[in-house]
Structure formats: structure tokens, C-alpha cells
Structure 1
Amino acid sequence: MSDKDIYSDLQQLGQQAELPASPEEAVLEKVPNPQAGTDYMVRFVAPEFTSLCPITGQPDFAHLVIDYVPIDSLVESKSLKLFLGSFRNHGAFHEDCTVSIGKRLVELLDPKWLRIGGYWYPRGGIPIDVFYQTGPAPEGVWIPDQGVPGYRGRG
């Protein structure tokens, strides 16, 4: 199967694509893993993730780190970018945003392993960090630390 064939069903890559109005409307796409049968880790970092407080409507900001070990499929990165951007006008608590993103990726990809760290910036003086993981990390795969230090404020 050629690269052109495995990418032919993508609706967003290489096309004009509007930011979805909500995470429910966002279309996450996947492509076949060209290294299926080899265990390796993929990392996406979204240092400027934004959502809204569901009560006040005030903006919330987070640094997200998504790590996964694929089996048969990879998430297509433009669709992931648009999916994450769809939270910009979405009201949800930090915990809901972080875990929902992780679960949606697991549903799409059925990876060997996935974790997401949501490092939320303080509101009301309290930072909230949220972590979701599908199980123990697979043996034999290099899983580096997410590299995000705990919030120290002015230290």
C-alpha cells in the first residue's frame, strides 16, 4: 500500500479546515502505523491549551503532554490540533478536559498504552494537575518523564 493510499481518506490534512465549535463536533482522524509491530512512544505537547470554566466562563490555560505507544494506528496531527483547539470555547473543569481528551484518543487509536498530563495554570491561586493513564507502561519502551516541573509561582 502506498503512502497516497493510506492517506487518501483524510478529510483535514492538506485541506482548509475550520476550528470545530466543540470537542463533540471535532473529527479526530487516524492513519495506519507504518512501524506496526515495533514498540515506540509518540509524544504531543500542547503548551497553550485553552478551555473555559463551565461556571464563570473565564479562560483556563494548560500545558498538555500526551504520550502513547501505538499498535496499528497513529493520530493525524492536524486533526489532533483542531480537536484540542475546539476546547477554546468549551466549558469544562480541568479534570473533565484532561480525562476526556485521553479517553477520546484511546477510543480512536486503541493504543498499547496512553497517558496524558494536564498541567493547569493557577486560577484563584491554585494550580491543578490532572493525570490519566491506561495502565502500566509497556516494558522495553523508553518512556521519558514529561518534563513539566510542578508549579512554583514566584518560588
Structure 2
Amino acid sequence: MKSIVMKIIVSLLLVLVFQQTITQSATTTLYFIRHAEKADTSENPELSAEGIKRSVRWTKLFEKKTIDILYTTLTRRAQMTFSTIATSKQKDMIFYDLSKFSLKETIEKHPGKTILIVGHNNTIPKQINAFLGEEIHQQIDENEFGNLYTITIKGDKIEHKLTHHK
């Protein structure tokens, strides 16, 4: 009986060690984009014609990238920016509350996954800077909509970059 219990304990320990090794070696990638151009300055506007075109361009950009998890805020402009991407990937959107959203918790919840987050000009840089522990990115200019922020995490190594798209 003791040997069976010991075998079970050893097996469970091996499974835990294996899972921890996979988690540490898995690459987690996060993409951040700002919602596309809004139609007006009202409290919760939809996208403008140019914003709709930009959301289609974002969809084409992400077409060949694997996206596992999709997060967006509850605003119309963010959801509209995101909906074409979510539809093309056949994924559901996860809505997040800006006041409760934690990038660290999101990464811990989805290790080894590729995550796309749609946010706002004043939230994306703040979230990234808080996660990195440095003030790297400034608030996005009100008229700038083509920034793609990428964070890649593999083990203890964190890489980040900003690219601009038309």
C-alpha cells in the first residue's frame, strides 16, 4: 500500500514539475492597439468611416498571426475596432473594466498564449509602463491611431517594441 501511495505522490510531483517547466518555457505575446478613429466627440461614439477602414487594416495585419485571447473595453469604438478581428479569428471578445484590469494578472491567467488588447490613448501606455516598471511610453496623441505595442515574455525575459502602421 505504501509503495502505491509513494508512486502516486511521485507521479503528481513529476506532473507539477513538468507543468511548471512548460509554463516557464512558453512564450506569451501581447499585442496592444488603440481603438480606431471615432465618429465624433460624444461620450461613447462609434467609429468614423476612416475608423472602419482602419479596423479592416488591423484585421488584415492580424490575419496571419495566431491570436488566442481577445480583450476589449466596453466602449463602442473599441468593440467596433475589435469586432472584425474577433470575427475573422472566430473568437469571442472578453470585455474588461479599465479600473480593474491588471496586465500582470492577465499574463498569469494565460501563460503561453497570444493576447490582443484594444484600449485607449491614455490607458495602453499606462498599462504597459506599469507592467514594465518604467516610464517608456508616453500617452498616445489624440490624433494617432496606428500604434502597435508588442510585449513578448519567455521565462524571465521580457521584450517590448512599438511599431507604427498606417
Q: Highest CA radius of gyration, 1 or 2?
A: 2
Higher strand share: 1
Greater RCO structure (CA 8 Å; 6+ sep): 2
